Amino acid sequence: MQNESLDIGELALPSWSVHTDKMAEVGFLTIARRLPSLVGQALRMAWQASPRDTLATVVLNLLGGLFTAFGLLATTGVLTALFSEGPTPDRVMAALPSLALVGAAAVLRSSVQAGAGWAQSRLTPQIARHTEERLYGLTSRVELVSYDDPDFHDSLERATSRGVAVPGSVVSSAIDVVTAVIGIGAAAGVLGVLHPVLLPLLLLAVLPDAWAAVRSARMRYTAMYSLIPVARRKWIIGDLMASRSCAAEVRSFSMRGFLLRMYDVVARAQQDVLLRLARRQTVARLVGDALGGIGTALVYVALGVLLAIGAIPLAVAGTAVLAIRSGQTSLANLMYATNHLYEQGLYFTDFLDFCAEAERRVTRPRSRPAPDRFSAITADNVTFTYPGADGPALRGVSVEIKQGEVIAFVGENGSGKTTLAKILAGLYEPDSGTVRWDDTDLREVGPDELRLRTAVIAQDHTRWPLAARYNITMGTDKGEPALHAAASVAGADEVIAELPHGYRTLLDRRFKDGHELSGGQWQRIAVARGFHRDALLLICDEPTAALDARAEHALFERVRAHSDGRTVLLITHRLASVRYADRIYVLDHGEVTEQGDHDTLMALNGLYADLYTLQAAAYR
C-alpha cells in the first residue's frame, strides 16, 4: 500500500502563497502598532499574578537605564581629561573623579539589574500558575455543547499547545522591551547632549536586522498556524501506537505497519513545511546581516567625517562611539525582544482569544434557584442540533416524567435518546422548546445548581486515575455511611473488597501501586458514583453495557429497589430490562414515535414491538 493512497482525514496544508488568518500581511509597522498593546496586556497579566514582583522588575530596570546614562555622561569627563594637554600623570589624576563616577554607576547598574532579574525569575512561575488556572477554569465551565464544535476544538488546541505556555515568556519579553527602550533612551539622551546629528546614527546599523527579525517571526507563525491540524493528527496517531488502551488491538490486528505508514505521511508533511521554513528564514537572516554590516560601516564613516570637519572634538567622538555601541546593543536587544514578543504574542493572542471565546460560551449567572423537588419534568417541543451537523438530533420532542416514576428511552442508534437525556439533565440547552421542572423553566436556572440535583450513569463513563474512594464520591464528602451504601447498592463493594488497599487503591496501573479494573468492575464503580449523588433525577445511560447477564440482572434489581420514591430515567438497548418501566418513549430519527408501557407498545405492533421481538427471538 503506497503512502499517497492513505486517507489521513483532517489534514490540509496551505501553500506559502496563501497565508491564513491574521498573518497574511504582517509588517514592521504592524508590529510597532501592536507592541504597546502587547506590552500592556502582558504587564496586566503580570500584575494580576504578582503586583509586588511586577513593580520591582519595572522600577529596577528603569533605575538600571538611568545609571547607564549617568555612566556614559561621566565617561565624557574621563575622555576629556585624558585628551587634554599636559603631563600624563596630571591628566590621569584629573580623570580620576569622573572615573570613580563611571565605576559607581557600573556597580549600581549591575546591582539593580541583578535585583530586576531576581524579581523577574520570581514572576515567571506565578504567571504560569495564574494562566493555567484561568485556562482550565474556563475549559471546565464552558457549555458542554462547545466540545461538539470543531471551531472550538481548533481554538482550544491553539490555546493549550502553545498559548498557555507563552504568557510567562511574553511578560519576560515585554520587560526586555521596556529595558531595551530605557537603554536606548539613555544612549539617545547622551548623544543628544553631545551633538544632535549623532542621533540618526543609532538606527542606521540595526534597521536591516529589524526587518529580518520581523520577517522570520511572520514565517514561523504562519507555518505553525498551518500545521495545527497536522500536529493534532500526528499526536492522535502517535497516541494510538503508545497508548495502553490500544496496545492489544494494535497487535491483534497487526496495525503496526499501517499506523507507521499513516504516521509517516503526517510526519513528512510536517517536516516538509519546517524545512521550507528553515530555508526561507536563513535567506532572510543573511540579507539582514549583509545590510546590517553596510549600516555599521556607514556609522563609522559618518563619525570620521564629523571629526575631519571639526564638528565634534575627539573626546566627544570617543564618548559617542561608546554611546552608539551601547545604543546598538540596546537596539539589538530591542529587536530581539520585539521579535520574540511579537512571535510569542501571536500565540499569546491565541490564548486571549480562546479565553474571550470561552467566556462567551460560559452560561451567564441566573437568578432563579433550582427547585428542591418536582412533581413532574416536562419537555415541550424540544429541538436540538449539534454544531456543524446537517440536521437536528431532536425534532419537536415532548416527554413527561413524573416524580417517582421509572421512565425508559429506547430506540436504535442515533435516534436521539442520549441527547434528550442530556437536555433533561441540564447538560445541553435546546435550540427551541422548553424543559420545565414543574413550573420552573430550566433556562432560568443556573446549570451548576441543576446538576447538583441530577446524577448520570453513562456508558462512556470516565475511568478517573484516582483512588477508588474518589471515583465514587467525585470530590464530595458525605461520610463513610453514604460511601459504603452507594457501593453496596451498585455491587461495587465486592470490587473494592478485592483491591489491595480498599478504597485507597489508585485505579490506574500507569502509577506505582496502581490497580486496573475490568470493564464490568468499572461499570459498577460508575453506577456507585451515580447512586452516591442521591439526586432527584437518576439517568442511567446503558448502565449494564459491560456487565454479564447475572450482574446485569442483579443491577437492575438494585436500581428498582433503589428507585423507591426516586425518579429514574433508563436508556438501554436491552429491552427486557425496561418491561417494568412505568412509561417507555420510543425515539426514531430524533422524534418520539411511540409511548406507553410495555403491554401498550407491544399491542401497537410498531417499532418497539419489532425490536423487542427481534431480541426475544434470539433467546428462543
Place of cell 537596539: 331
Alpha-carbon span 409 to 578, nearest angstrom = 9
Q: Could you report the per-residue pLDDT of 177-190, keeping only the tens digit for each?
A: 877 887 777 777 77
Could you tell me the end-to-end alpha-carbon distance of the chain, in angstroms, rounded to an integer?
A: 46
Q: Could you report the per-residue pLDDT of 424-476, keeping only the tens digit for each?
A: 888 888 999 999 988 888 888 888 888 888 888 887 788 888 889 999 988 88
DSSP one-letter code for 369: P
- Output phi, psi for 217, to 5 deg: -65, -40
Place of cell 534597521: 207
Residue-level pLDDT at 25: 47
Q: Tell me which fold the domain 15-361 belongs to.
A: ABC transporter transmembrane region fold (1.20.1560)
Residue-level pLDDT at 537: 87
Nearest to 437 by CA among 386, 384, 368, 385: 368
Q: Could you report the per-residue pLDDT of 568-596, keeping only the tens digit for each?
A: 888 887 787 788 888 999 999 999 999 99
Nearest to 157 by CA among 263, 48, 103, 233: 233
49 CB-contact burial (10 Å; exposed 0-12 / middle 13-18 / buried 19+)? buried
Nearest to 116 by CA among 160, 68, 151: 68
Strand 406-410 with 432-437, pairing: unpaired
What cell was used for 245?
488502551
Say which CATH class 370-453+536-620 falls into.
Answer: alpha beta
Neighbouring-strand partners of residue 135:
none
Q: Could you report the per-residue pLDDT of 464-515, keeping only the tens digit for each?
A: 888 899 999 888 878 888 899 888 888 888 899 998 888 889 888 877 778 8
Q: Could you report the per-residue pLDDT of 56-92, keeping only the tens digit for each?
A: 988 888 888 778 777 766 776 666 665 666 676 776 6
- Output phi, psi for 593, to 5 deg: -105, -25
Hey, which CATH number is domain 463-534, 3.20.20.140, 3.40.50.300, 3.40.50.2000, 3.90.230.10? Answer: 3.40.50.300
- Output phi, psi for 506, to 5 deg: -75, 125
Q: Could you report the per-residue pLDDT of 9-35, keeping only the tens digit for each?
A: 544 443 332 333 444 345 556 666 777
What cell was used for 149?
464544535
CA of 614: how far to CAs of 207, 356, 593, 608, in Å?
79, 51, 19, 10
What cell was used for 455?
446524577
Alpha-carbon span 174 to 172, nearest angstrom = 5
Alpha-carbon span 303 to 312, nearest angstrom = 9
Q: Could you report the per-residue pLDDT of 203-254, keeping only the tens digit for each?
A: 676 677 667 776 777 777 777 777 777 887 888 888 888 887 788 888 888 8
Nearest to 227 by CA among 132, 161, 303: 161
Alpha-carbon span 482 to 486, nearest angstrom = 6
Task: Bin 587: left if φ > 0, else alpha if -120 < ψ < 50, else beta.
Answer: beta
CATH 1.20.1560.10 maps onto the chain at: 15-361
- Residue 604, C-beta contacts closer than 8 angstroms, at least 6 positions apart: 594, 596
Nearest to 208 by CA among 297, 341, 275, 276: 297
- At 284, the amino acid letter reads A
Q: Which residue has the higher pLDDT, 546 or 463?
A: 463
- At 519, the amino acid letter reads G
Residue-level pLDDT at 15: 34
Q: Are the beta carbons of 303 and 201 closer than 8 angstroms?
A: yes
- Residue 429, C-beta contacts closer than 8 angstroms, at least 6 positions apart: 143, 145, 423, 442, 443
- Output phi, psi for 399, to 5 deg: -140, 165
As a whole-number percent, the residues of the chain with pLDDT over 90 amount to: 9
Alpha-carbon span 408 to 86, nearest angstrom = 108
Mean pLDDT of the chain: 80
Neighbour order of strands in the sheet with 440-441: 394-402, 376-384, 432-437, 440-441
- At 224, the amino acid letter reads M
Place 2 in a pLDDT band, splitting at 50, 70 and 90.
Answer: very low
CATH 3.40.50.300 maps onto the chain at: 370-453+536-620, 463-534
Nearest to 247 by CA among 515, 509, 526, 522: 509
